[in-house]
Amino acid sequence: MNAPLNEKTIAFLATDGVEQIELTRPWKDLQGAGANLHLVTLEKGEITAYHHLDEAHSFGSDKVVNEVTANDYDALVLPGGVANPDALRMNEDAVSFVKHFFNSQKPVAAICHAPWLLIEAGVLKGKTLTSFPSLQTDIRNAGGTWADKAVSDDDGLITSRSPDDLDAFCARIIEVLSPV
């Protein structure tokens, strides 16, 4: 099995309301590429994922956001959903965690509504990204440029619009994190 990410440790930051497929599909692909993964949550215990507005499965946390830093990881994945990033952007530790990845110039991958957390962190000025279309005004107001495409990569900021773009999103994350 080809495992280009054997030396990489990646954080997935999520809370209740995460869109299940935006958590599980990148997790499966990155794990299949050999990465060590941690589900970082706001509190110890389990989070409940959703599929659209229907409750889906629960997932146990590996780490709590106030106990980790970007120094512990090679990259950060931010799955979407509506409730998930909305709750995360209201948590100072989550916002600080995201800022630290940008300040450390480490890759960050965000899909669907997850860029709300990037807006709150104040890291989008001068960046080009995509998201769920309803966020385009928010992104522009935060100083970013919104693009309507399956995947965008602006110097390690990897973004996609929705679950329909997961093939391109996951492939780009693996490509960016793979050794040259």
112 part of the active site: yes
170 part of the active site: no
Cα separation of 180 and 162, whole Å?
A: 28
Catalytic residue among 38, 100, 113, 170: 113
Q: How far is CA 163 from the centre of its chain?
A: 13
Partners of residue 75 on adjacent β-strands = 10
First to last CA, the chain: 18
Q: What are the E-state strand segments in 61-135?
A: 63-64, 75-78, 108-111, 128-129
Catalytic residue among 51, 52, 57, 112: 112
Partners of residue 77 on adjacent β-strands = 12, 109
Residues taking part in catalysis: 112-113
